[in-house]
Amino acid sequence: MAGRKKKKSNKELHPGWGGYRPGAGRKGHGLRAKLQVNVTPDQKLAYDTAGGREWLREVLNRVGATLQANPIDGNKMKLDGCTTPAWPVTNDPTHYKVDFFLEGVQAGFPSPASDYKEDGLDFNELLAPNPDATFCVNVTGDSMIDAGLTPGDTLIVDRSKTPRNGEIVIVRIDTDFTVKRLRIVNGEIELHPENSSGRYPILRPKDAEEWCMIGVVTFVVKKV
């Protein structure tokens, strides 16, 4: 009597099956927490363009490292009774001075160069004289393009300054953040965009809205 024929395995039937496949298998045990947040279309586009979930994990890792190194800052910044996530400037910056010539460079006709220079310029002292109250944020959207704020620029924001009429400010409206020109009209606050297209309206406080003044933009850093 012939023996029973051995049944072929899946690997023999499908030679291409098995082996390592990127992304296959059980996910890492550390990825258990979930985040859910409502964002604007511009913010969603910036998130996708930057790399999506992997980019966000990298950002959160860097923020976590900063907070571990500077626990005194906490993971929140507070201003006028409101609380919002911060990108703090480190309390222990590295100081390095670069050569700084007193004479400015001509944007029109050239002038004789000067060899005289000061002791040097430290960008920490220039951009963040109040590091405990300073944070940085990148620009998304083009509502302030006529003010020179273009997508990808880095804004230096000082939370210790009292906002004044005509200054560029960061404001939280409910759960959304915006950068606009502060105007006081007839004693009322208005946030003015600066984009000649006319696509962006002037923002005024509405009933049931929560407005929170975050800080004053003091510098903009951009690539040329």
Which positions are catalytic? 143, 180
Q: Give the span between the Cα atoms of 142 and 43, in whole angstroms.
A: 12
Tell me the CA distances in angstroms from 80 to 9, 48, 71, 156, 166, one per residue in order.
Answer: 69, 33, 22, 19, 20
Kindly state the helix (H) or strand (E) to which residue 59 belongs, with its residue range: helix 52-69
Kindly state the helix (H) or strand (E) to which residue 149 belongs, with its residue range: none
Could you tell me whether strands 77-79 and 82-84 are parallel, antiparallel, or unpaired per DSSP bridges?
A: antiparallel
Residue 199 phi, psi (nearest 5): -80, -15
From the list 42, 71, 46, 67, the residue with the least C-alpha distance to 56 is 46
Non-local (6+) Cβ contacts of 103 within 8 A are 111, 113, 114, 116
Residue 187 phi, psi (nearest 5): 80, 0
Enter the tokens of residue 28: 């890492």
